Structure 1
Amino acid sequence: MTDVVIVGAGLAGLACARELVRQGVECVVLDAADAVGGRVRTDRVDGFQIDRGFQVYLTAYPEAQRVLDHDALDLRPFEPGALVWRRGAFERVGDPLRRPLQAVPTLLADVGSPADKLRVLRLRQSVTRGGVDALWRRPEMTTERALRDRYGFSERMVDRFFRPFLGGVFLDRSLAESSRSFEFYFRMFSTGAAAVPAAGMQAIPEQLAAGLPAGTVRLDTPVAAVREGAVETEGGEALACRAVVVATDASAAAALVPGLSEPGWKGTLQLAWAAPAPPRDEAVLMLDGEGAGPVNNVQVMSAVAPTYAPGGQALVTASILGEAPAARAAPDAAARAQLRGWFGDEVDAWRLLAVTAVPHALPRLRSLAPPERPARVSDGLYVTGDWRRNGSINGALVAGRHAAEAVAQDVGAGRNG
């Protein structure tokens, strides 16, 4: 008998365990995988670190600041802004407030009018005013409508900058995501940095797991069924408990807990190459501003964090969103054909390291009203995850903590009774 069994050692499950331990509630975390992290994983191939899907950590995440040790993660930041590929050249869209020397190139960039550039500053002022929680109470609409109607951006600015930039964030260029999510993300980008840990994104869940008592997390332990008061593993073990928290992704949760409403998924295809030299030696996001595809964004990860590649080599990664037919058939060839126009024939010398399909990269949450679904689904049974709040690292951590608070209150009441 243990107080709580948590199914899933992703960020939400680990955050839930962390809070339960802090409150003196015994728990065990079960996961079918061979490592913690859930959808946040880092593969190591020939001395390169390759994060599954293009993932970054935003240093302004408020919940993550509460629970993570940034110094220990040794975060390596991207440059603010982006380079947008347009008509045979890159145009810089920077952050003049943090990089004053980028003001002129940003103003001249052909991704929007000068008035659009001023609207970006007004957008920044709007989303950074007041507390973060107030953003989740603003009137909700699609991101595209908010950009056009609420903030007044031109069609040119929406299509050439926001569509590829937010496409990389939401894994969807349609801009159908909730405006609340967009405004939250834009605040995070405006007040902090996009970064990666020196040891890869998996260092984040590993840090959370390292703070738990020894033996709390049990890997390679798939769960077959959950019910009030017990969890059954596929190996035939039955664990009795006072409460069960299902902290898996939405699809796995729906399979374990009948009646759950499962959202759809947004996927991505990630390509990684070893290059003799970086095509552009900047820690900056490079975007397709023409919509020609199939690649939406490219980044030289070894320029962001040299630890991502062995000495004398560069790690280049690219993200393909959705279901581009050419990319499905031959993603490496389709991506190189596009990037040859960006970087020239040097792409032919790149060695393919990995093509990683991540069909369940982000939950498809068109509406965030209310901002979070209740964790308690029945007596002794709870469900948590970013898909219960918003699809982000911060959303997973907050949802996990909230589930732990609900569990601790109920388990404590049961003990007292």
Structure 2
Amino acid sequence: MSDIDADVIVVGAGIAGLRCAAALHRRGLTARVLDADTAPGGRIRTDVVDGFRCDRGFQLLNPSYPAVRRHVDVDALDLRTAGRGVRVVDGSGRARTLADPTRHPGLLPATVRSAAGLGLLRPRTVVGAARWALPALGPVRRLESTPDAALADDWDRLGVRGPLRESILAPFLSGVLADGVGDTSDRYVRLVLRSFLLATPGVPDRGMQAFPEQLARVEGVDVTYSARVERIADGAVPEVRVADGTTLRARAVVVATDAVDAAALTSAETSPMRGLSTWWFEADGVKPDPFLRISGAGGVVVNTAQMSAVAPGYAPAGRTLVQATTLLGKDGPAAEADVRADVGRLWGASVASWRVIVRHDVSRALPVQAAGSSLRRPLRTGERLVTAGDHRDTPSIQGALVSGGRAAAAVARMLG
């Protein structure tokens, strides 16, 4: 066809779209990527404000993901990892450290004392935790084929109760999953647990946006920015209409947007999405600490981390950057006074002088992975139309990368 603009038009320069374009190029197909924003990454972006690097939402890159190992040059990203463990803070502000002794042997005595103080060494607690966690270390295919249930229901069935659940697992996972009620698929959560057990997540020293920027530099990835797609006409030669009035034609179209935009452009059934707010503070009065902190006593803040202690490139020299994440629901972001109260307790510091650098309200942070839903959903949604994104696989960077590769394979088969 001589009247087409590319073999494939990819809508969206997020992780799935960028991976799809690279995979199409390797299959001998030309791809043109259109994105409404001014830089690659989709939901993975970093704002630089007064010299601080503030990711749009607290995000981590897990080097244990198979697709990351296969398609990402982690060494080139200068990945900086957090402490392997958490500090659990009670209602009085007392912090208990639970750290991996293989990486932090000097914290073994404190970890044992903390585990005992939290009631984690009781036989019933140990048995419940083992029954839930051990399958995560087995073969992935076996884990993927196990019967599924809502996370909270499976915890009830397996006896995961008490402080382990209320003070550690629930607050930690609520930030990872953007789920404050425990209705996420337990099968998926065990896959998440597996990734944390295999490696320590981290961030590039120049911010999370360094990751999609690397994917955008791969040979064959051609991105046009500030190109918002308004309509897609499916057919033997699908057409893509851009907001500036341009109409592009291709042999196939891949819609690699988030779930909400994908549903609007394709009428495909997608998942709803959950939201998170991340507050970025210039802090003072706290010692450097690379461990994630969670509240064992409730509150609006689901996690907080001193990013300048994890990755020095996130803050100007001699200054401290702290992030605090809260769930974002239909009532909007948490009140700043409530966030400050929680952050002060979690860090054991007066936060009255802490400056809010920026607050990111990400209403579409993660697709919902409901109990019983497939870990791999169909991609083809029309005659020459394919969808991709973390709403087609798992709601993760792994899922986005895998989905992009799957979409490229589906298009190659379609075009023969």
- Contact (CA 8 Å) 2:89, 2:95: kept in 1 or not? yes
- Give the Cα–Cα distance (whole angstroms) in 2 for the partners of residues 368 and 46 of structure 1: 45
- Give the Cα–Cα distance (whole angstroms) in 1 for the partners of residues 104 and 349 of structure 2: 32
Does residue 311 of structure 2 align to residue 302 of structure 1? no
Q: Residue 180 of structure 1 corresponds to which residue in structure 2?
A: 187
Does residue 133 of structure 2 align to residue 127 of structure 1? no
Q: 2:148 aligns with which of 123, 140, 155?
A: 140
Q: Which amino acid aligns with 2:100?
A: D
- Contact (CA 8 Å) 1:94, 1:106: kept in 2 or not? no
Q: Residue 72 of structure 1 corresponds to which residue in structure 2?
A: 76
Change (3 A) 1:123 1:240: same
Q: Which amino acid aligns with 1:85?
A: V
Q: Residue 209 of structure 2 corresponds to which residue in structure 1?
A: 202
Q: Residue 93 of structure 1 corresponds to which residue in structure 2?
A: 98
- Give the Cα–Cα distance (whole angstroms) in 2 for the partners of residues 18 and 28 of structure 1: 11
- Which secondary structure state, in structure 1, belongs to the residue aligned with residue 187 of structure 2? helix
- Which secondary structure state, in structure 2, belongs to the residue aligned with residue 91 of structure 1? strand
Change (3 A) 1:326 1:171: closer
TM superposition shift of 1:32: 0.5
- Contact (CA 8 Å) 2:33, 2:223: kept in 1 or not? yes
Q: 1:165-224: CA deviations, max 9, x gaps?
A: 10111012212110111100100000111111111111111111011337x110000111
Q: Which amino acid aligns with 1:172?
A: D
Q: Residue 56 of structure 2 corresponds to which residue in structure 1?
A: 52
Does residue 318 of structure 2 align to residue 272 of structure 1? no
- Give the Cα–Cα distance (whole angstroms) in 2 for the partners of residues 143 and 334 of structure 1: 28
Change (3 A) 1:126 1:344: closer
Change (3 A) 1:133 1:49: farther
Q: 1:321 aligns with which of 327, 342, 347?
A: 327
Q: Which amino acid aligns with 2:112?
A: V
Comparing 109-118 and 345-354, the one that deviates more: 109-118
Comparing 35-44 and 337-346, the one that deviates more: 337-346
- Contact (CA 8 Å) 1:93, 1:109: kept in 2 or not? no
TM superposition shift of 1:365: 2.1
Q: Which amino acid aligns with 2:379?
A: A
- Contact (CA 8 Å) 2:15, 2:212: kept in 1 or not? yes
- Give the Cα–Cα distance (whole angstroms) in 2 for the partners of residues 342 and 373 of structure 1: 40
TM superposition shift of 1:96: 3.7
Comparing 223-232 and 355-364, the one that deviates more: 223-232
Change (3 A) 1:342 1:179: closer
Change (3 A) 1:42 1:287: same
- Give the Cα–Cα distance (whole angstroms) in 1 for the partners of residues 325 and 307 of structure 2: 13
- Give the Cα–Cα distance (whole angstroms) in 1 for the partners of residues 104 and 148 of structure 2: 32
- Contact (CA 8 Å) 1:294, 1:324: kept in 2 or not? no
Q: 1:149 aligns with which of 133, 157, 164?
A: 157
Q: Residue 406 of structure 1 corresponds to which residue in structure 2?
A: 410
- Give the Cα–Cα distance (whole angstroms) in 1 for the partners of residues 374 and 360 of structure 2: 34
Point out where structure 1 has 5 or more consecutive residues left out of the alignment: none
- Which secondary structure state, in structure 2, belongs to the residue aligned with residue 14 of structure 1? helix
- Give the Cα–Cα distance (whole angstroms) in 2 for the partners of residues 324 and 249 of structure 1: 19
Does residue 196 of structure 2 align to residue 189 of structure 1? yes
Q: Residue 120 of structure 2 corresponds to which residue in structure 1?
A: 112
| TM-score normalized by the length of structure 1 | 0.92
Change (3 A) 1:87 1:237: closer
Q: 1:290 aligns with which of 268, 287, 297?
A: 297
TM superposition shift of 1:280: 4.1
Q: 1:339-358: CA deviations, max 9, x gaps?
A: 23334553112111011111
Give identity over the alignment, percent: 37
TM superposition shift of 1:324: 8.9
Q: 1:38-85: CA deviations, max 9, x gaps?
A: 011111100000011111111111111110001001110011111111
Comparing 98-107 and 299-308, the one that deviates more: 98-107
- Give the Cα–Cα distance (whole angstroms) in 1 for the partners of residues 37 and 81 of structure 2: 29
TM superposition shift of 1:263: 2.0
Between Structure 1 and Structure 2, how many residues are aligned? 404
- Contact (CA 8 Å) 2:185, 2:373: kept in 1 or not? no
Q: Residue 234 of structure 1 corresponds to which residue in structure 2?
A: 243
- Give the Cα–Cα distance (whole angstroms) in 2 for the partners of residues 344 and 371 of structure 1: 41
Q: 1:333-391: CA deviations, max 9, x gaps?
A: 22112223334553112111011111110111213532211111122111111011111
